[in-house]
Amino acid sequence: MSLHIKEMEKIILILLLFLTSCENKEKTIACSKFEADRDIDIYINAEYDQIKSISVFQTYTLASDLFQYEERLSLLKNQLDDTYYFEDNKLIRRQDYLIEDDYSLNKTIEYLKKDRFACE
């Protein structure tokens, strides 16, 4: 009987080790940096350590009087492409990138942290 219990303990231990060693395949990491003229938010999607796609949002707070002068606002809009949009007195640029080469998520996060991005 004692032998049977020890075998069960081994099986349970192996199963626990297997379950705790499983790594989440898909990851999404968010990194932010605040500068004087804009906020930068980067969202990185990866499988294990390989980056698959990146979305970059650059947010600029606009002067509230800009929206009072249709002529100035129209001039600004004419200079922007479709990666820009307006939201709550802010101009936001969204850029999406599909990554076809091999880039390490961990190395990229290290680089971003050196450039004063906060990543979570």
> Residue 47: what pLDDT?
93
Under 8 Å between Cβ of 109 and 119: yes
Q: How far apart are CA 88 and CA 100, in angstroms?
A: 35
The pTM is what? 0.76
> Residue 54: what pLDDT?
97
> Residue 44: what pLDDT?
97
Average pLDDT per block of 10 residues along the chain, 120 residues long = 64 64 79 94 95 97 83 90 92 95 95 95
CA nearest neighbour of 38 among 57, 62, 58, 56 = 58
DSSP reduced 3-state for 59: strand
Q: How far apart are CA 113 and CA 111, in angstroms?
A: 5
Q: How far apart are CA 44 and CA 26, in angstroms?
A: 11
> Residue 17: what pLDDT?
59
The residue written with tokens 């091999």 in the block is 102
